[in-house]
């Protein structure tokens, strides 16, 4: 396996970023600094990054996309015994839910064996966008409410960043945010007079929910994982 691919598979960084790490002289193979990302490494080679060893049997990156149904909690375990997102996908190793959806919110949630990737995709400082489709109560949507959401609204924990908002129908909109505060979309809509009746996440970074049915999952391709890592700046 080429060295850059090995580093990417081990979750160090995306393949492109791994190439730069190698060229910067930060990687050693069997005690020798290597600056060629195409250098082959085998099962018996000892690879270190910034002096820290990586196992040559490093686990392959795994990311699942799941269309979460209502009634399922977005944690690895639940003390109340409710079904969790982790129990809905194959459990060959420890998986991290990438962020959370409320128990009554449906749609796209990711699960991965790469804790650092999960952190980068959810921490507000990396500004990875998520898009939600919200069915609203209250009066028909007016431009004033849409404008307020686009400009940012005042919540009890501070003003939100501007959001991308698209009206889908008289009572439905799509809203894209990158902050990830607790119940943020619901609170934003309530703040402009439209309580959320139904909420679904339809996009996470570059990844769309598409035709994946509720309760079903699929494993992401290496190209999709690379795109997620690029979206998180890794």
Per-residue buried b or exposed e for 120-135, using 16+ beta carbons within 10 Å of the residue's own CB: bbbeeeeebebbbbbe
DSSP 2: B
Instruction: Report the alpha-carbon distance of residue 183 to residue 100 in Å, rounded.
Output: 10
Q: Has 157 been annotated as catalytic?
A: no
Q: Which of 102, 104, 157, 171 is flagged as catalytic?
A: 102
Provide the CA 162 distance to its chain's centre, in angstroms. 20
Taking CA atoms, 226 is separated from 89, 163, 178, 220, 231, in Å, by: 21, 25, 19, 10, 9
H/E element, 203: strand 196-204
Instruction: Show which residues are catalytic.
Output: 102
């Amino acid at each position: 396996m080429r060295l850059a691919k090995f580093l990417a598979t081990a979750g160090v960084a995306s393949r492109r970023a791994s190439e730069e790490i190698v060229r910067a002289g930060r990687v050693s193979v069997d005690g020798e600094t290597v600056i060629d990302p195409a250098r082959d490494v085998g099962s018996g080679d000892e690879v270190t990054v910034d002096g820290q060893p990586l196992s040559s049997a490093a686990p392959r990156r795994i990311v699942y996309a799941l269309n979460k149904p209502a009634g399922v909690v977005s944690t690895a375990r639940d003390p109340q015994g409710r079904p969790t997102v982790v129990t809905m996908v194959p459990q060959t190793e420890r998986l991290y839910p990438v962020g959370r959806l409320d128990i009554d919110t449906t749609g796209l949630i990711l699960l991965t064996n790469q804790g650092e990737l999960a952190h980068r995709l959810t921490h507000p400082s990396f500004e990875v966008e998520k898009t939600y489709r919200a069915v609203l109560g209250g009066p028909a949507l007016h431009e004033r409410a849409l404008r307020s959401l686009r400009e940012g609204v005042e919540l009890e924990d501070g003003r939100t960043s501007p959001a991308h908002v698209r009206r889908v129908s008289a009572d439905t909109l799509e809203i894209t945010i990158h902050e990830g505060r607790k119940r943020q979309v619901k609170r934003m809509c309530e703040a402009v007079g439209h309580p959320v009746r139904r909420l679904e996440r339809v996009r996470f970074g570059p990844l769309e929910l598409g035709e994946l049915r509720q309760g079903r999952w699929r494993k992401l391709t290496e190209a999709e994982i690379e795109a997620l890592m690029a979206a998180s700046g890794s």
